[in-house]
Each structure stands twice: as C-alpha cells, then as structure tokens.
A and B are shown apart, each in its own frame.
Chain A
C-alpha cells in the first residue's frame, strides 16, 4: 500500500467522522430547542400565580418529554452504539439540561429526588452503559446540581408568593442532597466545580428559613399545614 493510498483511506475515515458529527449536531440543536421550551414552561412556577397550577405545568412538561424521547431516539441512530463516548461532548450539555428539567418536574410533583433510572426512563434512554445509549453518571449529577440552584430560587419566590412552608421542605431536601454529594470523591473537573456552587444554594435556602423563623412565620406555616391535614 503506497503512502498516498493510506492517506486517501484515512481521509475517507475522517470525512465519514465529520458527517456523523454534523448529523449529531442537527439533532442536538432540536433537542436544545425542546429543552428551552420545557424550561420556559417550568419557569412559570416562579411567578405568584404559578404556584397554584404546578401540577398542570408538570403535566404539560411531561408531554414535551415525549418529543425529547423521539429526538433522542433519532440521535441514537446517528452513530454506532459502542462509540457513545467518542461523540459524548456533543450532547453532554443538553443531556445535563434535560436531566435537570426531568428532576425539576419530579421534584415539583413529589418533592423527591429523581433517581437515575427514572430520569433515563423519562428521557427514553438506558441507565446502564451496557444496554445502549445511556445516561452518564456525571451528567446525571450535574443535572441534579442545577436543580439545587433552581430550588434556591424557588424558595425565595415561594416566600414572596406567601407560601411559607415550601422553603422548609426545600431546605430539608437540599440538606439531604448536600450530604449525598459529600459522600462522593470528586476529581478536579467540571462536576467538582459545579458541586462547589452547591454550598451557596444551601446557604441561600438557610437564610430564607432563618428569615421565616425569626418572624415566627415557619410555625405559622407548619401549624397551617397541620390544620389543613
């Protein structure tokens, strides 16, 4: 095989590679669009009136996840299954965003942290690497960290909207999350950087709870809640 033949063959490989990347980029763009739509929808909960129809908003968001599933389905067909990590960078960001959105919906519905398996199910992908297009653990954790900052914001806004009990529940949740993350030995990478931001979210929520408790508002909230029950 002559040198030039070898390089012609290699060039073919590289071009094929570029075509795959191009295809992936197209699908990822569509995914980003859907993710933005879901985010806009869920942003509604931060406004005063939004607190009443959280279930309705979640319902709508879940419908949008149907689109996400079909888009991810088409993404799967764009490259060989065993080369997931070769092209990982292309969808990493959007996948983290989608994990956050799914986690947010699940939190609003049940006030629980979504498990990795459930996120994978919502997105129509696998939780395990062995079974195909999957959700990388670091992407899942990144999405969960985004949820934490969103909840810090939600705590502030729920006080403004007159819902004094929600910050207390968020606080418990975030604290548990914080202890969870403290179990991990993170390397000095992007996930670690994101994790370093978690303490500010914890702090923010604690301040909200503090403000409520020195004014006796948290007792009122728990009493009212107890009364409702």
Chain B
C-alpha cells in the first residue's frame, strides 16, 4: 500500500515546529538576565515568605561560614556567589530544555532501530509487516542525532559543566580536581569524535538495512541474498550498538553530573529507549491502520507490541529500582547526592515518573484483551511517552538548573518543536516506499500471524 503524508499532517507538523521555535526563542530571551535582575528576583522571593532562602543559601555555600567568621566582606562574597550560581541555572534552562527534548525524540528513533535489528537478527516471524513502519521511524536517527550533537556543541558548559573554562587548570578559581582527573575522557574533542563515530555507525546501519530491505522487494522470489545481508549487518550492528549505546549514555547523559557515576546507567537508558521506541511503533502502526493502509496488520500484531510495551516498562522499572535501591541502601555520600537532589528538588517528577512508567502500564496492559483494544494501547502509549520524557528531564535538569526547574514555555516549546520535526520527517519518509516489505521471506507468516 502506498502512503503519502497528508497535507493536514504536514501543516500540523509545520505549525508545531513554528510554535515550538517561537517558544524556544522566547525561552532564550526570557532567560537573558543580568546579575542585578537575579539579585532583585532573589530578594523578592525572600520577601514573599520564603524565609528559608537565606538560611539555605548560607548552608549551601557557607562551609567556611560555619567556622564562625561573620565578617561583612565574607557575607558579600557569599551573596555574590549565590546570585551567580542562580544566574547560571537560569541561563542553563532553555539549553537544557532543548537538549532534553532533542535527546528524547532521538532516543525514540534509536530505540526503534535497535528493536528493528533485533527483529532481523532473531528472524522474527510476526513483525515483517511492520518493517516499513520501523524503517520510517528510524529515518529520524541521522537528523535527530546531528541536532543533539549540535545542541551539545552550542550549549557547551550550559549543559556540560565539565566544559567550563578553567575547570581543569590547576590554580584556577573554577578548578575541580575530580573533573580534571576525568579529563582524559571528558574533553570536548573526545566527546564529539565519539559522538560522530556512534552516529556514523548507527546511521550507516539504518541506511544499508533499509536499502537491502527495499532491494529484497524487487528481487527474484528465489533470491534471498539481500535478506541474508540484512541478517548479517543486523547481528553486527547489535554488537556495535550495545557498546556504543553504553558509551553514549555516559557521554551524553551521565556526564552532566561529572562527579557521579553508575555502572548500570547504560542499560537503564537503553531500556527507556526501547520502551519508547516500541510504543511509537505501536502508535504509528495504529494511526496508519486507522487510515486503512496496513491491511495485513491485525489485532495480534498490536497485541504483540502491547506485550513488548508492558514487558519493557517493567524491565525499565527493574533497572530504575536496582540503581536507586543499591545507592539508597549503601548510602555512600559521594554517590547518594545524585538521588538526594532529585528527591528533594524533583520529588513529584522523580516519583511521578515511576507511577507513569510502571504502575500505569502494569495495570492497563496486564489484561490480554486490553492489549488488542487500539485506543487502550494509544492511551497507555501517551502515558509511557510522557513518563519517559520526565525520565530524561530528571536525568539532565537537576545537574543544570537545580531547583530552578519548571515545566513551562521553554520545555513545552522544545517538545512541540521536536514533535513537529519528528512527525514531519518520519511520515515523509514513510510515504517514500510501499508499506509492506513484500520481498521478506517471512512476510507470509507475518501476514497470517495470529495469537
């Protein structure tokens, strides 16, 4: 079946992008505050009954304060430091909002790519009717990845504190021995060289697997050479992917907190990635099916995707909890601060996302019959995507804006912008080729798949 992106969808996507871009621009203008602006803002906040503000300031910055030195000069210095700290957080906010949304949509496409490779390598019999949908979504990997790297490049120290000038120079006022010790890995050229290698590898696989999949459509009935090539590169890609995905999660996410590290972080990011990817496959499939374009997709395919959404949601929770509980239990100061900031300043998003990513899918998708009800899968999918946006939000924001967070215009506009871009690119790409991978040797089985 041929599909062409409808005008309504295209215009809708463009409107989202324009609205988002305007909001992002507003976010940058709004955050452009001077030292004095922040000073007045803080004093107003203190007068508005936040008596504790002064106390926490001195608690936070006054390690030397406690020594009993209450000279006037010291106090002014403390005050200046605090205002500068808040100023940075306010400046960081639009950058972080853009980075979170950009990474979130990129991660969906990358999750789909990994899932797609697994389907090839496992020679799954149920999924070939969905291959074109997956190929369409993965076409966002290259543009989305380039945008994430560009944001990282321009955001610089606004997102990655280890890029602050002088942080590795001994004797500099910003000198940080821990970051300096890690600078063999955490340095700007290294970060971008690695990023480009990852992106090149992923998009090369994306390009070739789609090429072979299309070539298989037009090949002779007895000629499975393209299918075999796809099988081989998928297996190879999965090996490459599991290494690069881990390293990517250290670079692109964990390094926003350069003092903190966690060994299962790569898996944790991967599980979120996969569950989002599968959710989006299900949602796009249901959308196209509702247009009558995927005649071979039946309720059993949706049921299978629903099972994957359910299973990977629980896998995500397992990893989230394993990371949290291990650190909570041993309570070693150098690593527990990560969760202390999140629980104190991000209480609702931090625990709210567990409800959205675990309890909702658990209860909504447990029943076998519900997984076949399309609107039920869409509804759960929206909850899961919202929950995983919050997950990325909770990974980045505490490190960049601290307690100055809010889900306001910069955040929502960034989501709108990337949602528009994602829809535009994915559906344009879906319209380029027939929606059934008819040359795949398993497609007959997939068409007749029932559970």
| A and B physically associate | no
